[in-house]
Chains A and B, each alone.
Chain A
Amino acid sequence: MPDELPEELRELADPIIQRLQQAFAHEEPAIELAEVRRRAVRYQPPPGHGLTAADLAAARHREPAAVTRVYTAYAPALFRFFMAAVGDRHLAEDLTGTVFVSAIEGLPRFYGPVEALGGWLFQIARHDLYDHRRRQARSRIEPLEDHLPEAAAAAGAADPEHLAIERLEGSRVLAALGELSPDQREVLLLRMAAGLTAPEVAKILGKTTGAVKALQHRGLASLARVLGGLRSPRETQKRPYLSPDPARLPSQEEEER
């Protein structure tokens, strides 16, 4: 009789499969809908989320709606990146805007696929940041510490996946970032604050993905050491969703679609 069943149903008629189903039949998730809603509100999609090749093509021709979509898809990540790097909200906003001005001008010469857009924008961002730092070094602007709490709040930006920044004293996190090597700091800024994938960061920095992961690993380890307390197993078990997402692969966002 089972032979007459379509192949898929035949598999479900397998006693092993049925035993598996019985063993777990009574299991229900103990998750309140309110918890799902709370996470939904806090969820920040990865940069570039929802942007299509058509959007990019239209943005190249400076169609306002498409340019707005590109802006919306990347501005939060760029802002977090600058905020974590310079620690001043107004300056971070200015720098974010500057990137888009350059991007709109440069887009007609950007031939990559839409997946490469983020890397390209952050290359501009990084360049602008260096420019800014050169100017700052010349004019000796006010010390970073004045802005640290605000900076850290924005850098953590209610994103459950980005380090455990938000539950820590902000100033400590940024101060700790300052103690890392420039390489490690840059990788952490791009991975954690901007939310780019390891291969994207690798491309921007001209390193291999393995090198980026190693820097990230060492950077996080130093960060944890500086911050202490971060490595409490009880905390981790209680709030697993605070974990960063260091292993997100480039294909993952694609897979989620």
Chain B
Amino acid sequence: MFYKDNSGPVFRALLAGTLNRAAAEDATAEAFARAWADWDRVASHPNPKAWVLRVAWNHYRSSWRRWEARWSADQQVPSPRAAESWVDADLVAAIRGLPKGQREVIVLLALGELTPTEIAGVLGRAVGTIGSQLFRARMALRQVLEDPGPEGRDA
């Protein structure tokens, strides 16, 4: 079944890309709802999962973050991150430190299980750009995660 088979990768890519569980769930639900409402088009698409990821990504970019920023600027909403405890906190901190473009590309590859060509379609960037962002993201993560830093890696 389409939802059961694909919601995991879509959600995980969104979660790692946004580091915001509520936003990732909202975008995932919205994208699969649109796929459902427009199933004929999605079914004839060469890669329905990439279609859903693109819709989810656009939904997140266009609605959630902007409004969240506006509300929180006005209301001092407690950041949802505070409550979240990640399995691999070092890695999450490293992803958070990446420039947005690089982060998007690496999570779509690793967790969305898309090829660079598909990622280029999802994000509306050139394949060459995707390749270089991917390279830089891996370099940056490697540097942060594999270099123990001045205080060393304890235990």
* A-B residue pairs, 7 tightest by C-beta: A39-B33, A29-B11, A23-B88, A40-B36, A40-B33, A233-B75, A247-B62
> Are A246's CB and B66's CB within 8 A?
yes
* Chain A residues within an 8 Å CB radius of B15: 24, 27
Q: Is the interface of B mostly helix, strand, loop or mixed?
A: helix
Chosen A-B contacts, 16 in total, with CB atoms closer than 8 Å, are A8-B115, A16-B145, A20-B91, A20-B110, A24-B12, A29-B28, A35-B29, A36-B32, A36-B36, A42-B33, A45-B38, A243-B63, A243-B67, A246-B66, A251-B124, A256-B51
Interface of B with A (CB < 8 Å)? 3, 7-8, 10-12, 15-16, 22-26, 28-30, 32-34, 36-38, 41, 51, 54-55, 58, 61-64, 66-68, 71-72, 74-75, 77, 80, 86-88, 91-92, 95, 106-107, 109-111, 115-116, 124, 134, 138, 141-142, 145
Measured between alpha carbons, how far is A26 from B11 in the docked complex, in Å? Answer: 11
B72 and chain A: residue at smallest CB distance:
A233
Least CB separation from A244: chain B residue: B63
- Asked whether any CB of chain B lies closer than 8 Å to the CB of A252, the reply is yes
B141 near A16: Cβ-Cβ < 8 Å: yes
Known: A247-B62, A256-B58. A24 touches B138 (CB 8 A): no
Known: A17-B138, A24-B16, A248-B62. A45 touches B109 (CB 8 A): no
Q: In the complex, how many angstroms separate the beta carbon of A23 from the nearest chain B beta carbon?
A: 4
Shortest Cβ distance from A26 into B: residue: B87
Task: Tell me, in angstroms, the Cα distance from A124 to B53 when the chains sit together.
Answer: 36
Q: Complex Cα distance A33/B124, Å?
A: 29
Q: In the complex, A27 Cα to B11 Cα: how many Å?
A: 8
Q: Which residue of B lies closest to A232 (CB)?
A: B75
List residues of chain A with CB within 8 A of the CB of B109. 11-12, 17
CB neighbours (8 Å) of A23 from chain B are 16, 86-88, 91-92
A24 to chain B, nearest CB (A): 5
Report yes or no: B110 in contact with A17, Cβ–Cβ below 8 A: yes
Considering the chains assembled together, what is the distance between the CA atoms of A23 and B91 in angstroms? 8
Alpha-carbon gap, A101 to B10, bound state (A): 44
Closest partner residue, chain A, to B117 (CB atom): A8
A241 to B34, CA, bound (A): 13
Q: Give the contacting residue for A255; candidates B34, B58, B134; CB below 8 A.
A: B58
Whether the pair B29, A247 counts as a contact (CB closer than 8 A) is: no
Bound Cα distance A240, B80 (Å)? 13
Q: Given A20-B107, A240-B26, does the pair A8, B66 have CB atoms closer than 8 Å?
A: no
